[in-house]
Amino acid sequence: MRKKVADSVSWVGKVDWEIRSAHGKEYSTHKGTSYNSYLIEDEKTALIDTVWEPYADEFVHNLSLEVDLDTIDYIICNHAEPDHSGALPVLMKHIPATPIYCTKQAVRSIYGHYHQDWDFRTVEAGDTLSLGKKTFSFHPVPMVHWPDSMMTHLSGNNILFSNDAFGQHYAHELLFNDLAEKCTLHEEAIKYFANILTPFSAIIQSRIQDFLATGLPVEMIATSHGVLWRQNPEQIIERYLQWCDAYQEDQITIIYDTMYNSTKGIAETIARGIQQHSPATRVKLFHAAKADKNDVLTEVFRSKAVLLGSPTFNKGPLASLSALTEEFRGLKFMNKKANAFTSYGWSGEATSMLNAQLIDAGFSVTGEGLRINWRMDSEELEKALQFGVDFASATF
Ligand code: FEO
């Protein structure tokens, strides 16, 4: 069922309330998501993006109830990832000759996924396509999120169809940011950036500035996931520019795993030391094997500094911590301090190994870290407390 976005612009996508992970099992979607597709009906009719493949039949059926599919003159594919292009094979069976406007890189990706010789019309920065009264202009934004990604601007309505940029995995029936729960929207937007877009921060900053330099007015940002930014759309552009710029809040995050609560005890003692030194700093603790990975990565993104703690097990850290440092490496967090600690019985390599992983991931390690043999006694409790004080002091 269509929802009105603006004059002659309708949302025809799918709200996925059920999904609990995207990118396979890589990204937790506690709040579901949506695949936003748009129908623009001017003198010509255009469809922007489709939906994820499992909803292809439903999408095409619903679309056919809203518009005679044969009257669709143009398909715009802003991004070839299957959560947006997944319904193309079903749709194109109905309208095989309809031209698909996309970047050159998208042709390769779409063909790579579906192996079909559809009528691709490649576009470059600034190319336009008239719909009659209104006109599309195309703005490739490679690596926001894939090399093929682009944004499409619609004149008249001044809507920027931004695809992945500015999106959130957030199912919502009311479509617009001013009708969404503000905290949830912010949480899902920052989680999306932290977990998906962080590695491309410098590129994103430059692509946003390139688009702003066009001077095109933007009255609404119509994303491909979650709610549309109708009220004050500049707010999410400003946030993206902040998030791209080695973003930090006044927060230190401690992530640990534990076998008999010794490492947990060290973590909590270090937290007290940090708070002793910096009472206003937000300190958050997470059990690496119990907490949601993507939520933890969002907290790391927000942090000035991170501490990792693990028992030494088989001469190294537990796998839950090493898996996390591999995520750190891939996400390329910037300008963050770090250190590590362990509770050990007879060797204690976890601290140095975690610190080596942190250095490899681009963190600035503040020292040799902390090793506590077995459980803390009162002397070692003081040592852990002081470690927290010293770490906070090195951070601020
Ligand atoms: Fe929502 Fe990069 O796909």
* pTM of the complete model beyond 0.95: yes
- With a Cβ cut-off of 6 Å, ligand 1 is lined by 79, 81, 83-84, 145-146, 164, 224-225
Cα 372 off chain centre by: 37
Domain spans in the chain, listed from the N-terminal domain onward: 3-244, 251-395
**Closest atom of ligand 1 to CA, residue 196:** 2
Sign of the dihedral through C-alpha 253, 327, 355, 381: positive
Specify the ligand 1 atom closest to the Cα of 167.
1
Catalytic residues, by residue number, are: 23, 79, 81, 83, 145, 164, 192, 225
How many other β-carbons are positioned within 10 Å of the β-carbon of residue 330? 11
C-alpha angle with apex 153: 150 to 159, nearest 5 degrees? 125
Q: Compute the C-alpha angle 139/31/149, nearest 5°.
A: 15
Per-position pLDDT tens, the chain of length 396:
899 999 999 999 999 999 999 999 999 999 999 999 999 999 999 999 999 999 999 999 999 999 999 999 999 999 999 999 999 999 999 999 999 999 999 999 999 999 999 999 999 999 999 999 999 999 999 999 999 999 999 999 999 999 999 999 999 999 999 999 999 999 999 999 999 999 999 999 999 999 999 999 999 999 999 999 999 999 999 999 999 999 999 999 999 999 999 999 999 999 999 999 999 999 999 999 999 999 999 999 999 999 999 999 999 999 999 999 999 999 999 999 999 999 999 999 999 999 999 999 999 999 999 999 999 999 999 999 999 999 999 999
Encoded tokens for 232: 């004050």
318 CA to centre of ligand 1 in angstroms? 32
The alpha carbon of 59 and the centre of ligand 1 are apart by a number of angstroms equal to 18
Fold adopted by 251-395: Rossmann fold (3.40.50)
Residue 44 φ then ψ, to 5°: -110, 160
For ligand 1, atom 3, name the residue with the nearest CA.
Answer: 81
Ligand 1 atom nearest to CA at 225? 1
Q: Quote the pLDDT of residue 1.
A: 84
Distance 176 CA to ligand 1 centre (A): 20
Token reading at 317: 């850290």
Fold of 3-244: Metallo-beta-lactamase; Chain A (3.60.15)
Ligand 1 atom closest to Cα of residue 145: 2
| 145 C-alpha to ligand 1 centroid (Å) | 7
> Separation of 80 CA from ligand 1 center, angstroms?
8
pLDDT score recorded for residue 358: 98
Q: Whose CA is nearest to atom 1 of ligand 1?
A: 164
